[in-house]
Copies of this chain bind each other. A is one copy, B any other.
Amino acid sequence: MVSNTDLSDALAQRLSDSGLRSTPQREVIYNVLLTKRDHPTAEDVFARVKPEMPMISIATVYNCLETLVQCNLVRAVNFERGPTRYCPNLHPHAHFHDEQTGATHDIDLPDSLLGQVKSILPPNFDASSVEIIFRGKARPAA
């Protein structure tokens, strides 16, 4: 199993690799993201962190989330112009946005398909990232 301190260590490592400090705020926010991987917004994260850390500010939540994204520990996900959502799943994956419920689901993305998708680009386009977003209805899983 992976202990809580292991996760903190991994976080501290990534942060210091980027010349940044590990702080209680960054740790608790990262843990919140790992605990419930439902693509919460910054406000969602704020609400989940508050019980553990009542004095934290929304500005700090935004700051820390941005830091985690810069360190490549978290992905920012956007649907239309809605609030940015945060995802700690680092495997290549697409997102399915359920229009009825608003839920976001991770869809595993095979390397082979990722390659094929990139191959539609004319040679003068050099893509640093590819994002695939599905929109529709998800029937409750069997």
Contact = CB atoms under 8 A, between A and B. Distances in A.
B128 A131 contact: no
Given A80-B78, A110-B120, A134 B125 contact: yes
Interface string A66-109: 00000000001010110010000000001010010000010111
A126 interface: yes
A35 interface: no
Contact of A121 (B118, B122, B134): B134
Interface of A: 76, 78, 80-81, 84, 94, 96, 99, 105, 107-110, 113, 116-118, 120-122, 124-142
14 contacts: A78-B78, A81-B81, A96-B121, A96-B125, A107-B122, A113-B117, A116-B116, A121-B134, A122-B141, A125-B136, A125-B139, A127-B136, A128-B137, A129-B135
A130 B117 CA distance: 13
Contact of A129 (B126, B128, B136): B136
Given A84-B81, A121-B96, A129 B139 contact: no
A132 B135 contact: no
B128 A120 contact: no
A76 B129 CA distance: 21
Contacts of A120: 94, 107-110, 113
Nearest to A77: B80
